[in-house]
Chains A and B, each alone.
Chain A
Amino acid sequence: MSEDIVQRVMANPKYKEMTCMRSTYGWVFSAIILVAYYVGFIGIIAFDKQLFAQSISGGAMTWGIPVGFGLMILIIALTGIYILIANSKFDAMERSLLNDVGVSHE
Chain B
Amino acid sequence: MNKGVSRFLIGIAFTGLFLSLAYGADAIGETTKQQVNITAIIMFVVFVGLTLFITKWAAARTKSASDFYTAGGGITGFQNGLAIAGDYMSAASFLGIAAQVMASGYDGLIYSIGFLVGWPIIMFLMAERLRNLGRFTFADVASYRFAQAPVRTFAACGTIVVVLFYLIAQMVGAGQLIKLLFGLDYWIAVLIVGVLMMVYVLFGGMTATTWVQIIKAVMLLAGATFMAFMVMKLNNFSFEAMFAKAVEVKTAGAQAAGKTAEEAAAAGSSIMGPGSFIKDPISAISFGMALMFGTAGLPHILMRFFTVPNAKEARKSVFWATTWIGYFYVLTFIIGFGAIIFVSTNPDFLDAKGGLIGGANMAAVHLADAVGGHIFLGFISAVAFATILAVVAGLTLSGASAVSHDLYASVFRKGNVDSATELRVSRITTFVLGILAILLGILFEKQNVAFMVSLAFAIAASANFPVLFLSIMWKRMTTRGAVIGGFLGLISSVILTIVSPDVWEVTLGNPAGSALFPYKSPALFSMIIAFVGIWFFSISDKSKRAAVDIAGYDAQRVRAETGIGSSKASAH
Contacts and interface: CB of A to CB of B under 8 A. Distances in A.
Interface string B199-217: 0000000000000000000
Contacts of B525: none
Given A72-B326, A83-B316, A83-B319, A106 B563 contact: yes
Interface stretch (B238-246, B359-367, B411-419): B238-246
Interface string B302-328: 000000011010011011001100100
B330 A72 contact: yes
Give the size range of B's interface with the partner.
35 or more
Interface stretch (B182-190, B452-460, B554-562): B554-562
B557 A46 contact: no
Contacts of B124: 25-27, 29-30, 33, 82
A72 B329 contact: yes
A65 B272 contact: yes
Contacts of A25: 124
Interface string A18-59: 110010011101100110011001110111011011110001
B310 A106 contact: yes
Contacts of B319: 79-80, 83
A5 B564 contact: yes
A79 B322 contact: yes
Interface stretch (B85-93, B146-154, B222-230, B278-286): B278-286
B281 A47 contact: yes
B237 to A, nearest CB: 14
B280 A64 contact: no
B547 interface: no
Interface stretch (B39-47, B106-114, B387-395): B106-114
Interface stretch (B115-123, B134-142, B426-434, B531-539): B115-123
B247 interface: yes
Contact of A64 (B272, B316, B318): B272
A106 to B, nearest CB: 6
A9 B278 contact: no
Name the prevailing secondary structure of the B interface residues.
helix
Interface in A59-77: 59-62, 64-65, 68-69, 71-73, 75-76
Listed residue (B273, B309, B319) with the most chain A CB atoms within 10 angstroms of its CB: B273
Contacts of A19: 557, 561
B119 A46 contact: no
Contacts of B563: 94, 106
B269 interface: yes
Nearest to A22: B561
Contact of B562 (A37, A50, A54, A97): A97
Interface in B228-269: 239-240, 243-244, 246-247, 269
A92 to B, nearest CB: 12
Contacts of A37: 113, 117, 288, 292
B113 A41 contact: yes
Contacts of A41: 113
Interface of B: 106, 109-110, 113, 116-117, 119-121, 123-125, 128, 239-240, 243-244, 246-247, 269-270, 272-274, 278, 280-281, 284-285, 288, 292, 309-310, 312, 315-316, 318-319, 322-323, 326, 329-330, 554-555, 557-559, 561-565, 568
21 contacts: A5-B564, A6-B558, A10-B558, A15-B561, A15-B562, A26-B124, A30-B120, A37-B288, A42-B285, A45-B284, A50-B273, A52-B273, A61-B243, A64-B273, A65-B106, A72-B116, A73-B326, A79-B119, A82-B120, A86-B312, A86-B315
